[in-house]
Structure 1
Amino acid sequence: TKLYPTRSHTGAAQGGMCAALSNVEEDYWEWHAFDTVKGSDYLGDQDAIDIMCKEAIDAVVDLEHFGLPFSRTPEGKIDQRRFGGHTRSHGEAPVRRACYAADRTGHMILQTLYQRCVSQGVNFFNEFQVFDVLFEGEGADRRAAGVVAYELSTGDLH
């Protein structure tokens, strides 16, 4: 990371993480994708947007299992609130899609993921900037094998 892992701007995010959970109102990932494409003025990579909106549901569930303290409905489900641009039925009416942790969603996501990484033994290289990812193998066997990184404090390339 260019900074210590928990010092990123993510910690300032307050609103929520969007996923079509349907915990509060009917919602579908396809509606989420429509709103995201429309919000990008149709310039966003629509295949990538579809993947993001489909996988957002599992990502929220994973964060919950990792211990993120999402705000809850009276029934105990993850609560959801409205954000601008979130609609049902491809623009018909507003829908509650943002999952949140009070007004500290970004901070809680950062802390939860950081603690998960620490518990899994992830090594962090603080104050490095990655210039390139090195790969080995071909096709389905292709995998990341290393990086070219700039150490901010010394100017060294690694």
Structure 2
Amino acid sequence: MDVLPRTSRISTISQSLSGCRLASTTPPALSSMRSNISMRENAESPKSKCRDHTYNAFMLRAGGASLRVVIGSSEHGFNTVCITKLFPTYSRTVAAQGGINAASGNMTEDDWRWHMYDTVKGSD
């Protein structure tokens, strides 16, 4: 297997791509990279500042059980935080509430299959 030098590989790849052209095969000079880094380090920081926080309990989920743990820990004097990757109004607990009406059976005939369907569909 033939191995081409880095610049030849870049040139070969760029020529094979239609509509693309190679801007440069040489890396930028180290001195220019150093000056860019020092300019960034010396620049004034943005108005928002980083804050340090200290917690006794850290929950990385926001389902019903996780929220109950956070509330209980907080009630017992712990400094707690709960973080989720989902939008706050679309946690799985909120989304899965579609099946509650089916379980009460006061509107239409109740069936466990509809309750299961609503619960699973709500969590998708």
- TM normalised by structure 1 equals 0.19
**Structure number with higher helix proportion:** 2
The structure, 1 or 2, with the larger RCO (C-alpha pairs under 8 Å, 6+ apart) is 1
- TM normalised by structure 2 equals 0.22
